[in-house]
Amino acid sequence: FVPKVLAGRRLLITAGPTFEAIDPVRGITNLSSGRMGYAIARAARQAGAEVTLVSGPVALAAPPGVERIDVRSALDMHAAVMARATTADIFIAVAAVADYRVANAAEHKLKKDHGGVPAIELVENPDILAEVAALADGPFCVGFAAESQNLEAYAQAKRHKKKIPLIVGNLIQDGFGGDDNRLVLFDDQGSHPLTPASKSALATQLVDHIAKLTGSH
Ligand code: PMT
């Protein structure tokens, strides 16, 4: 039996990496597996939420009862999220979104024997979470921060910069890929370290915390 702490709430969530094309077959991406975001989508659905999962390219099946929208690049993810953000009650940004995309992506496959080493020019991607957080009548926003050091300082700085009530910190060595994680929740009340556990057990605890902060139960 799972308590329906998010009954009737509409949850929008991003997960996985983005893929920024260099040419039709090559690109820039990262090692996010999607497991953390998918576990939260599943836990929220089990807690009674109506869940839409905007997913970068991952090798996972959508959890039962969850609407999944597949995207590839940060711009695709941005468009899919912004089209749905105003009708969501809660937005959780778990995706590891590329900060930059390739400005000069090639229409055809780059050939090795043409003019030496290619130069890849980068341009900044939109910050999806910050944009949703800035919406006048937007959802309750939850961010994630994956850091290799100084977890509290860096996570809190992101929370304040993006103007969000809750950010979930994890260390890269604990969280990227794999089935387990160690999470610390940072909100206006301070920091709440969760006992290291499986991503699915942590997802349930995070959903409970969000339900409390949003007054859902
Ligand atoms: O997928 P797994 O293998 O299970 O790994 C999970 C995870 C480690 C990827 C996940 O737990 C995590 O920490 N995700 C956030 C990764 C990160 O460091 O994000 P960031 O610091 O680049 O961004 C901070 C926040 O802004 C995140 O909520 C991110 O989704 C969001 N963001 C960032 C950039 C951007 N252009 N748009 C965004 O919405």
Q: What pLDDT score was predicted for residue 216?
A: 62
Tell me if 78 is assigned to some domain: yes
Tell me if 5 is assigned to some domain: no
| 38 CB near ligand 1 (under 6 Å) | no
Alpha carbons 180 and 176: distance in angstroms, whole number: 9
Residue 112, annotated ligand binder? Answer: no
| 17 CB near ligand 1 (under 6 Å) | no
Q: Report the atom number in ligand 1 closest to the C-alpha of 58.
A: 1
CA-CA distances (angstroms) from residue 42 to 33, 36, 65, 90?
A: 15, 10, 8, 15
Tell me if 171 is assigned to some domain: yes
Tell me if 4 is assigned to some domain: no
Closest CA to 42 of 157, 161, 207: 207
Domain of residue 174, CATH code:
3.40.50.10300
Tell me if 117 is assigned to some domain: yes
Count of domains in the chain? 1
Tell me if 1 is assigned to some domain: no
Candidate list 30, 104, 125, 170, residue with the active-site label: 30
Most informative mutation of 94, 100, 154, 170 for ligand 1 (most atoms within 8 A of CB):
94
What residues make up the domain containing 205?
Answer: 10-213
Q: What pLDDT score was predicted for residue 217?
A: 53
Long-range contacts, stretch 196-201, CB < 8 angstroms, 24+ apart:
198/39, 199/35, 199/36, 199/39, 200/39, 200/42, 200/43
| Each residue's pLDDT tens digit, 75-99 | 999 999 999 999 999 999 999 999 9
Phi, psi of 68 (to 5 degrees): -115, 130
Tell me if 194 is assigned to some domain: yes
- Non-local CB neighbours of 132 within 8 Å, separated by 6+ positions: 81, 82, 85, 91, 93, 138, 139, 141
pLDDT in tens, the chain (217 residues): 788 999 999 999 999 999 999 999 999 999 999 999 999 999 999 999 999 999 999 999 999 999 999 999 999 999 999 999 999 999 999 999 999 999 999 999 998 877 788 889 999 999 999 999 999 999 999 999 999 999 999 999 999 999 999 999 999 999 999 999 999 999 999 999 999 999 999 999 999 999 999 986 5
Tell me if 175 is assigned to some domain: yes
